[in-house]
Amino acid sequence: MGTQATSPEYTKPNKEQSVDDWLPITSSRNAKWWYSAFHNVTAMVGAGVLSLPYAMSELGWGPGIAVLILSWIITLYTLWQMVEMHEMVPGKRFDRYHELGQHAFGEKLGLWIVVPQQLVVEVGVNIVYMVTGGRSLKKFHDTVCPGCKSIKLTYFIMIFASVHFVLSQLPNFNSISGVSLAAAVMSLSYSTIAWGASVDKGKQSNVEYGYKSSSAAGTVLNFFGALGDVAFAYAGHNVVLEIQATIPSTPEKPSKKPMWKGVIVAYIIVALCYFPVALVGYWAFGNSVDDNILVTLEKPRWLIAMANMMVVVHVIGSYQIYAMPVFDMIETVLVKKLHFPPGLALRIIARSVYVAFTMFVGITFPFFGGLLGFFGGFAFAPTTYFLPCIMWLAIYKPKRWSFSWITNWICIILGVLLMILSPIGGLRQIIINAKTYKFYS
């Protein structure tokens, strides 16, 4: 392999190379373009899609449709930027979001800008998914057996977590592709059930489209919270470079081509899931829709039970996709900084502790909607809407007032507004819920 090889993979010392071959993000690089498609669908179409009709009810028809379409366009653009930047330095790949950050902002600063935000997003999503998984299992149980003894949500979250103690031992992204494919199929299925059942129910007789809150301040704050819900729905960017890292790449066939193909397919599926659910759900139920559309649809019973089970399967896949980069970070620190020997024991302990942590937090704070809005604005807006644009400006330095420069600045301004406004609404939602909340109920 000598010195003539240009790929940096060959120039690393053997010990570091063997660690990279062991870490979850870089250990397997033989993914096909369609892996990118369903990993992206699983990462993107989260349980967030089910809260879109509720977000529409807080935003209203005009602003709601505008926010949905704008978000779809902006996030597709920033996703394209990330796919392009993955290999912009010849012979080098930025396999992780923070590596790109370090290239754009410098070794130290890059880590400080990217890692905290990425961790808030990934850990936040995993906690929210613990709650969603538990809730959907409970809803399934209550729907199938309405006369049974009521079981606490806490236990359902524990049942859901038990699956992850097993699944989180899968070594890398490619090993979870089966789980991810099942999850992507489920997300399309339950989205279709959500809007199909709404069409079947038709427009309710006493439907109202006005804002729910009686005060102007309440209306404005609800509006801000709903922006966070929408931001949460478009949150696949945190794992994009990590997904692209699994695709093989040569100078003749760079990984961005198959990756982009997968992204386009994923975004078409995203549109097919999001727009019908948001618009049809809001059309049918108006402002009386719940923060999870499946809760609003009580009948037919078997269909709603099935949809809730699909949500469970999908959230299992999503949890794993978001947990993988976290496992990668934890294992990198343990092996490279703290010099633990890489191996099965380390992996079992580290990953089980993480799953237990997300389960514990999920059990302690299960108010779903407010958490979405809060996290949505706080961390999703930067990593999804404007951090890629800032990196693009820092690295490529496009001419002032050129198309690229203007586009990026528009995305940055909208993203910053989203980041500031939506946590305000989300926090208010949490405070309102916390008043009536009993711990471990």
Determine if residue 301 is left, alpha or beta; phi over 0 gives left, psi from -120 to 50 gives alpha, anything else beta. alpha
State residue 437's pLDDT score.
65
With a CB cutoff of 8 Å and minimum separation 6, the contacts of 351 are: 168, 169, 323, 327, 330
Please say if the pLDDT value at position 121 is more than 60: yes
Q: Is residue 218 within 8 Å of residue 210, measured between CB atoms?
A: no
Please say if the pLDDT value at position 440 is more than 70: no
Please report, for the chain, the start and end positions of each structural domain, with discontinuous segments joined by +: 8-435
SS3 for 120-144 is: HHHHHHHHHHHHHHHHHHHHHHHHH
Short-list 130, 190, 120, CA closest to 367: 130
State residue 8's pLDDT score.
44
348 — pLDDT class (breaks 50, 70, 90): very high
Q: Which residue has the higher pLDDT, 73 or 45?
A: 73
For tokens 């290999």, the residue is 87
Span 422-428, average pLDDT: 77
How far is C-alpha 52 from the chain's CA centre? 15
Span 122-141, average pLDDT: 87
State residue 370's pLDDT score.
61
Short-list 277, 423, 430, CA closest to 365: 430
Tokens of 397: 């330095």
* pTM across the whole model: 0.84
Tokens of 237: 């960017």
Mean pLDDT, all residues of the chain:
83
Q: Which residue has the higher pLDDT, 300 or 398?
A: 398
State residue 1's pLDDT score.
40
State residue 426's pLDDT score.
73
With a CB cutoff of 8 Å and minimum separation 6, the contacts of 388 are: 78, 79, 81, 82, 85, 237
Domain 8-435 top-level CATH class: mainly alpha
Lowest-confidence pick of 104-118, 149-163, 423-437: 423-437
Question: What pLDDT digit, counting tens, does each position of 188-232 carry?
Answer: 888 888 888 888 887 877 777 777 777 888 888 888 878 877 877
With a CB cutoff of 8 Å and minimum separation 6, the contacts of 397 are: none
∠ Cα 236 289 316 (to 5°): 35
Q: Read off the amino acid at residue 322.
A: Y
